[in-house]
Amino acid sequence: MSRAVCNCMRLGLPRCFRTYTRWIGFSEMMSIAAGARCLAKQCCQPWQHRNIRYARDIRFRLEMREQNEEYARPAQPPDTSSLATVREAAAYCTACHLYKRGTQTVFGEGPKRAAMVLIGEQPGDYEDVAGKPFVGPAGKIMDRALADAGIDRSQVYVTNAVKHFKWEPRGKRRIHQKPNSREIAACRPWLEAELRIVRPNLVVAMGATAAQAIFGPGFRVTRERGKVLSSKLAPRVVATVHPSSLLRQPDEESREREYKHFVADLRAASRAADEE
């Protein structure tokens, strides 16, 4: 049995379409989405009306399959020293399937020659709509912590390891989903380009996704938190928690304790960034 026919059987298509697929191949069946009615008429005239219904069903299934198909390949940023050019190119990135559901690419923001770069996981619902990083609840906590640590946010570059919002529907809400390793790897060239152009003295990796994008999947924030480390992407890196983790603390006492720890990590990063 041909692979094309097997694909048709998996989609639950009628026998007449499986036979037709033997001749044209499964890839050609994608054209049904544009011409389902014509194909139904050509396939089996005695069951024309029934096949039109099947063709409409095929069109729906193929469109859903195309929408939900997951893939990831390394992005290809332009080789330039212009941050604006890279940002513009990232706006049209289709390196992984996340672009299909995200409203827009959420690229980094801040001075081109910032001494410090803050890296989070991915844009959230607020960021996806606004097109700017860290403007939601986690961003407000981060802004407060930066101020308490004596760091001016306008002087730091803020970005994410993944540039599109990964989410799943829950009623009318869009619920955050953690990016997988393939999605992180696909987006890593954009992060590399940002760090190559900005050339910060220090990078703060906030959360496991950001830290593993820099150090690899074996890195553990809980073990290395607050330490000044080095990597191929930056001369100094400090790993800490993502500010959204503070929102998930079970009570006010825990939130306050973890917030103070977060501020202490930022202060340590600020001191290290000022060192020559």
Q: Is residue 83 over pLDDT 90?
A: yes
Residues 109 and 222 occupy one common structural domain: yes
Residues 109 and 152 occupy one common structural domain: yes
Residues 253 and 132 occupy one common structural domain: yes
Is 174 domain-assigned?
Answer: yes
pLDDT value of position 46: 44
Confidence of residue 70 (pLDDT cuts 50, 70, 90): confident
Of 10-14, 114-118, 147-151, the poorest mean pLDDT is in 10-14
Residues 37 and 94 occupy one common structural domain: no
Is 76 domain-assigned?
Answer: no
Of 39-43, 70-74, 122-126, 156-160, the poorest mean pLDDT is in 39-43
Is 75 domain-assigned?
Answer: no
Rounded distance, CA 163 to CA 64, Å? 24
Rounded distance, CA 49 to CA 46, Å? 9
Strands (E), 129-201: 157-160, 167-170, 173-176
Residues 127 and 39 occupy one common structural domain: no
| Largest distance between two CA atoms of the chain | 82
Domain of 52, in residue numbers: 3-68
Q: What is the pTM of this model?
A: 0.76
Is 159 domain-assigned?
Answer: yes
